Structures are given as structure tokens and as C-alpha cells.
Structure 1
Amino acid sequence: MSPHPSLGDLPGPADEVVRCLPGLAVFRAVARARTLSEAAAALYKSTASVSRAMSELEAVFGTALVERTRRGTVLTPAGRLVLARADRIDEELSAAATNLARYRPEPGSEVLDALTRRLYDGRHLQLVVRLVNLRTVSAAAAALAMTQSGASMALSRLESALGLRLFRRTAAGMVPFDRTNVLVAHAKRALAELRHLTSDLASTDGGTRGTVVIGTVPPGRTHVMPMAVVDAVGRHPELCVTTVEGHVEQLLAGLRDGDIDVVVGVPPTPSTTVDLAVEPLFEDDLVVLARARHRLADRDRIPMEEVVDEAWILPRAVSPSRRLFDDAFVARGLRPPRATVESADLAVLRQMLATSDTLAFASARQLRFELDSGLVTRLPVDLPALARQVHLVLRRGALLSPATAALVACLRVRGTQAR
């Protein structure tokens, strides 16, 4: 399990896979034609160039994608897997081209086809994504191991080919247009499909390899998620799991963009996830916690009125668990306690509970070690029983890689055990 990166620094497809993106357009034509010569005619290319593109693509993936027979070309099992991803990539790039075409004065399918073909350049897509995230050419170039002049020329060539400016050059950096942000959303999903190809192809020989990116909020990353990762990696040693921490809104945005493969968390409201596949994973009890020698620790019952003015560590004001907490006090006709600190960070909770009389409204599961060891105690405040449902969230319609499917299966098992 790798360290927690930011959303702008997540793993992507290998460089050689990114560079083969134009070859996937050729492969799609070959897959739909009976012969290489028919595919070449459809692409307005020579048969030799199509054959060369196919050989280069097969070299990158390390396996044959088509078989040449007397009756024409036939997809291998690996070829069928690659075609499924290639079709999804084409859907994303075609959708991006459709959006860009709205800003072009010339209508027609020829313009749309030309825009789509121009977007079949993985390095250019990566450059635009990095520029949106980093806002300077120098930073984007460094992230992609390019020279600054090379990145500037690449961007100029792309904008010229598209017939559209993608960024406003300002003193504060490169500011993307709205159309650029839409392009980047499609580009990220296309690059995510490329990233999953490694895992797809490993499955043809019975293996499960590849990188899975899982986004977690504090209630999701205690016990259930780590143990599911242990299970998945134990069964599939070549699996690599990257975890991303953040607010659930950020994580869901990353899931939609393809940066993240699965989120374990508490979505704010059902209306925020209508485009996502959400399933209950486990229920997380929320309790009042304090250090073991807190002056209230020896009480059998503590009325809610007595803790209103205590110093509190509370979840963020917009979080579902904070709403549960505040609503419980309002239902009793009380003013909700003021947050001294708003945090769900486990390190913050541990340190503040250990060294102060601050109370915390938090997950009992999250601080299970501290509770079992006697460092922290649960206070018997007469709050009603409060719990939040932690969910497993996937992008609706996503084609899970074998690596992602393996981790999701382990999450479901561990979630069932935690209920």
C-alpha cells in the first residue's frame, strides 16, 4: 500500500502505454475489418503502416492482439480485452471532441472526426491535465519529464490543431477555459482506461496485477479498508494499492474523473451520488470519547446539558456525522456545542485526547486501539444511539479491472464481517 498522494499526483498508465494511444485507433479499425487492407482503406493509410502500428502495439502489450487467418483477422482473447477498453477510450475522446466542436465555427462530422483523431495523443492529454492541475508550464513540464520549451511547443501545436485556445495566459498562471475543464474530465477517464489495460491483460494468464486507487475518509480507513487491502494483496501479491485521503466531495470528484477507482466513505446526500453506484458497506457507531482520567470518566450517566460548554473536537460542519450530532442536541431543545477543533484526522484525535480534557465525537471503531488499551474512554453521555452508514462507491458504468474487482470483493467481505 503506497503513501497517500494528492489528487493531482495519482498513478497513471506507463509511458509506453500512453504513447500507444494512436495505435489503439488503428487497432479498433483492424478489429472491425476483415483484413488489414480493409482497415488501412478505412483509415486512409497504407497496409504497411497499419501492420507496423499493430506490431508496435502488440510489442507494448507483450501479446498478440489479432491472428491472421485465410479468412482475415481474428481477435485473440487479449485483443478482445483491449478492444473493450479501446471502445471506452474512443467514447471519452469522441465526447470531448463533441464538446470542443461547439466552439468551432465550422459544423459537420468531418470537423468532429478531425478533433477526435487529434485527441488520440496521450502525451498531449497528459500535458493538458497537468496544466489544469499545476497552472504553470514549468511545473507541468517537470512532472512529465519534458523541457519547458518542449511543453510550450506541444501545447501550441495542440491548440493550433484543435483551432481553439485551451488556456488564458495570465500573471497568475495558465487559467483553463470551461471547455478545457470538460476536455480534462474526459481525458482523465480515457487515461484511466489505459491504466487498467495492464490488469486486464494479466488476467489472460490467470494473474491479477495492476494498480488500484482507493479514496477513503477517516471512518472508511480504519480496520475494514486496511484489512481488505491485506486480504487482496495476500491473495494477489502483484497488486499495488494506492490510497488517497481527502474530503468525500474531493474523492467523489476524483472517482467521476477516473483518478480514483473506488471510494469508501460517507456521501453527503443521496442527491450527490445519482451518477454513482453506492452500496452500504458497514455501520459505524459514533460516541463521545475522552482521555481515560477525564473528570467525567467515572460517571454512570452524563446529561447532555452538562457537556454543551465543554471543549470539543467535532467533524466538519458540513459532514453527515456533524449533522447527526447537532440535530441530537436541537431535538432536546439545547444549543449544539461549539467546535473547538473541526477534524476527523486520527492523529489529531489521538494527540488531543491524550493530552487535554477535550471531548471528541468520533467513531468508536476508529479509536478501537486506544479504547482497548485504556488510553481513551467512552463517556456515557445520554445522546441517542447515533451511527453513520459507510458506503462503497463506484462509478456507475465503470468497467472494473481485475485488480479493482479483487479489492472490491475483499472490501465487501470485510464490510459484511464488520456489521
Structure 2
Amino acid sequence: MQGTPQSSHSIRSDLPTLRNLRIFEAVSRLGSITGAASEVHLSQPAVTQAIANIESQIGARLFDRRNQGTFLTADGLIFEKRVRRYYAQIERGLRDFGKRDYGKNLAVLLNLISEPQIRCLIAISEAESFAQAAQAINLSETTLSRSARDLQGTLKSPALFRRTATSMTCSLAGRELARRFKLARREISLACEEIDASRGHARSRISLGVLPLGGTSITGHAVSEFCRRHPDVRFELVEGHYDVLLGMLRSASIDFIIGMLRNPAPESDVVEEYLLADPYVVAVRKTHPLADKTDVSKEALAECRWILPKGDTPRRRAFEKAFSNLSELPTVDIETSSTRHIRTILRQSDRASILTRVEMLAESGAEGLVGIPLALPRATGKERIIGTTRLLDQLRTPYQTEFLDLLRDIARTI
């Protein structure tokens, strides 16, 4: 269930090839094997074989062949919708990379790009060197380098890669093109998951980016309940800093981010959704000397030892503002951003910390935590809001939609 930035939605080698998807798109649009064969300059048997290969790979019949033509099945309609989005991502990536509209030449360019070239570019964009990229996808460095050179030659641009002091790696433009390729490939993976789900075969995977301070509690409740309802659905939970998770979201490595919203969203291609307000509270264990006091002064709290995140973090700023009128700040002798560590240490000592309302509600039982009344200032002037961040144009699967609905239901009960 737990994932890492490298493992989530990792590069698959069993997706239909770019060439075969191009053939599928032509057949579905024209409704004719003959017409598609003419458009892609292949024989009818070659087109028929390409469609058969796709159907075999995804385990579904995509077309009904009749005297009147070739028509999409219900599974074919699901697949066709995703293939259109696949090509939209690739075309957007190529236009942005080339800084021009290819027009009719775009179809020619797409025919020249191969699936191995796409896989190699993605691997290079995720690695620090060609050697690491080759190892990640089980290729020799020579094979990967040749594929990279071929793609660079096809695009007629040396801007895909740059040389570092020790090796070659992706340029910024190359990384952006690879990001579009990853978004495109994720569409085909989701098509396969949707087709499986429509038949009652829940082999779906939902990958969540969880912000360590703010997203863990509600995510844990939602994932546990969803797995109870759908035991065959697989989850990957990736904890990390916001900027890292945002990059993963924008490259289809994760499906959603759960945690404190930035408000406004930092990129134009992502959207944030409110789930609940989550203000700070001072947390101590139930047996703490101050736990049963109704009127606790700042001076009394200042005598406690504290456990807090280090550096310039919202909780640390709220702490410093709360005690700014004292001659010196309380002692912070343990620094961590892990709520798990904070809770454990609080339960075992008379330290104090700052948790959120949601994190406090996650504690229950005789050895739980309690909150001490103290008005904690907002560290940034904004209310702490827990919510989800997702891609603006995301076309969610039924399972993804159901999971978001479950998150909303849980948030309403807190």
C-alpha cells in the first residue's frame, strides 16, 4: 500500500504501441478497416492484426464488425475516449516543445515516434543519468542512447538533453515533453482499469500523495473504508513535501494530493477542493499536569518542553507568534514533521506540541491526547483548509470518483 515517488504509476512496458493506437484511432473515427488502412498506409490485414493485438493486450473486444462497417463496442467506447485524450496530451507536448503548430505534419511526426523512444525519454527524465535510466527499464545504456538520439533526430532539435559535469540528462524542455508523454500513457492505463471495472474485475490502482502534516488522518480513514468496500482495489500512499507531490501529480505519478490547500493553487493545470477547516490546537497527553486545567496561561505552557517541526513551517510560525510577547520562547527539544512521532512522544512524556483538529480526533482511547485552550494565531493569515488537489482536466475513473465522494462524506462527519 505504501509507495515512493519512484514506484507510483511506474513505467509499464505492456501498453499498446503508439503505432497500434494510431491505427485504432483511425478505425474508430472512420468506422472502416479499409478506410483506416488507406489513411495509415498499411494493408487491411496489417490493420486487422494491429487491432487484434490491442484487444489481446487489454483483454477486451473493441469493435463489432458488421456489413455496414466497423463499430465500437461498449469497451471500445471507453478505450476510444481515453485514446483521444492520449493523443491530445502528446500533441500538446510536441507543440509546446517545438514552439509551433505542426498542422498536417503532426500526423507524420507521430508516425515517426516509437513507443521505445517514449519509454526511454520518460526514464531519462526520471533519472540523474543515462546509466540510471537504462537500468530502470532494463536496457543497455547503448540501446537507450541510440533511442534517445533517434528521437532527438526525429524532433530535429538538440534541446531534449543537456550535458552535465559527469553525464547527459534531460533538459527542462525534454522533461516537459516527457511529462506530457507520462500523462498520455496514464490515460491508456486508466482505460484498461475502467474496462476491467466495468466487468467486475477490480484491478484498479489509486495513488495518493499525502502531505505529512494535515493529510494523513483523513486519508487513513478513507483508504481503510474503501478497501473494506472494494478489497481488490490497490492503493499507493506517497508521503512527501508539497512541491515534490505537485510534480508527481502533474506528471501522472499520483492521482490526487490530500492535505493542506495552498489557496490559490500554484499551477494553472491543477484545481483544489475544500474538504474541511482544520485549525491548530495545543496537544498534550491526558495525564499531563495541565490537561485538566480550565484556564491555562501562556506562562504555564512556556514551562513545558515542546516537540515541533523544524525550520520555517506554518506550525513553527504559529508557535512563535503565540509566545512572541514572552521574554523568550519555550524550549523545543525535539524537532520532527512526523505526526506519528509527535503523537508517540506526547503520549510518553509531558511535552506539548501543536496538532490540528483532525489529527486530534484521530487519537482515541485511554492513552489519547487532549487539547488545551489557547488561541493560536494563523501562521500565514489564512485559515488552515484540508482538501484535495487534482489535475484540472482529469477524467476520473468510477473508483476514483467514488473515493473522492467517500473523502467528502468523512470530512462532513469531522
TM-score normalized by the length of structure 2: 0.87
Q: Identify the match of residue 409 of structure 2 among 401, 409, 413.
A: 413
CA-to-aligned-CA distance 1:248-267 (integer Å, 9 cap, x gap): 23222222222111121112
Q: Match of 1:179, SS?
A: helix
CA apart distance, 1:31: 0.8
CA contact (8 A) 1:291 1:354 kept: yes
Asked if 1:21 is matched to 2:18, the reply is yes
Aligned partners of 2:245 and 2:297: how far apart in 1?
37
| C-alpha spacing 1:217/1:406, structure 2 compared with 1 (3 Å) | same
Aligned partners of 1:124 and 1:339: how far apart in 2?
52
CA apart distance, 1:83: 0.8
CA apart distance, 1:191: 1.9
Q: Which runs of 5+ in 1 are unaligned?
A: none
Q: Match of 1:301, SS?
A: coil
CA contact (8 A) 1:132 1:174 kept: no
Aligned partners of 1:108 and 1:266: how far apart in 2?
41
CA apart distance, 1:49: 1.5
Which segment is superposed worse, 286-295 or 164-173? 286-295
Asked if 1:76 is matched to 2:70, the reply is no
Asked if 1:86 is matched to 2:80, the reply is no
Which segment is superposed worse, 142-151 or 239-248? 142-151
Q: Match of 1:15, SS?
A: coil
CA-to-aligned-CA distance 1:231-288 (integer Å, 9 cap, x gap): 2222222211111111223222222222111121112331525532322212334211
CA-to-aligned-CA distance 1:87-132 (integer Å, 9 cap, x gap): 11101111111123239xxx853553333334451x3323222222
Partner of 2:117: 124
Partner of 2:278: 284
Aligned partners of 1:72 and 1:321: how far apart in 2?
64
Code of the residue aligned with 2:235 in structure 1: it is V
CA apart distance, 1:195: 1.9
| C-alpha spacing 1:45/1:342, structure 2 compared with 1 (3 Å) | farther
Partner of 1:143: 136
CA-to-aligned-CA distance 1:125-156 (integer Å, 9 cap, x gap): 23222222221222222221222332222222
Aligned partners of 1:302 and 1:59: how far apart in 2?
69
Partner of 1:4: 3
Aligned partners of 2:208 and 2:66: how far apart in 1?
43
CA contact (8 A) 2:280 2:376 kept: no
CA apart distance, 1:380: 3.9
Superposition pairs for residues 177-196 of structure 1, below 5 Å?
Answer: 177-196=171-190
| C-alpha spacing 1:108/1:236, structure 2 compared with 1 (3 Å) | closer
Partner of 1:237: 231
What number of residue pairs does the alignment pair up? 410
CA contact (8 A) 2:263 2:272 kept: no
Partner of 1:353: 346
Code of the residue aligned with 1:9 in structure 2: it is S
Partner of 1:388: 384
| C-alpha spacing 1:233/1:325, structure 2 compared with 1 (3 Å) | same
Which segment is superposed worse, 388-397 or 352-361? 352-361
Code of the residue aligned with 2:61 in structure 1: it is A
Aligned partners of 2:268 and 2:92: how far apart in 1?
20
RMSD: 3.1
CA contact (8 A) 2:17 2:114 kept: no
Asked if 1:404 is matched to 2:404, the reply is no
| C-alpha spacing 1:74/1:370, structure 2 compared with 1 (3 Å) | closer
| C-alpha spacing 1:179/1:274, structure 2 compared with 1 (3 Å) | closer
Q: Which runs of 5+ in 2 are unaligned?
A: none
Aligned partners of 2:169 and 2:281: how far apart in 1?
45
Asked if 1:154 is matched to 2:147, the reply is yes
Q: Identify the match of residue 51 of structure 2 among 51, 54, 73.
A: 54
Which segment is superposed worse, 82-91 or 354-363? 354-363
Partner of 2:204: 210
Q: Identify the match of residue 247 of structure 1 among 241, 252, 256.
A: 241
Code of the residue aligned with 1:63 in structure 2: it is A
CA contact (8 A) 1:290 1:377 kept: yes
CA contact (8 A) 1:37 1:47 kept: yes
Percent identical pairs in the alignment equals: 25
Partner of 1:64: 61
Which segment is superposed worse, 107-116 or 65-74? 107-116
CA contact (8 A) 1:268 1:319 kept: no
CA contact (8 A) 1:97 1:116 kept: no
CA apart distance, 1:404: 1.5
CA contact (8 A) 2:285 2:346 kept: yes
| C-alpha spacing 1:276/1:102, structure 2 compared with 1 (3 Å) | closer
Aligned partners of 2:292 and 2:96: how far apart in 1?
64
Aligned partners of 2:192 and 2:184: how far apart in 1?
14
Asked if 1:169 is matched to 2:163, the reply is yes
Aligned partners of 1:275 and 1:100: how far apart in 2?
17
| C-alpha spacing 1:412/1:63, structure 2 compared with 1 (3 Å) | same
CA contact (8 A) 2:209 2:237 kept: yes
CA contact (8 A) 1:229 1:410 kept: no
Code of the residue aligned with 1:3 in structure 2: it is Q
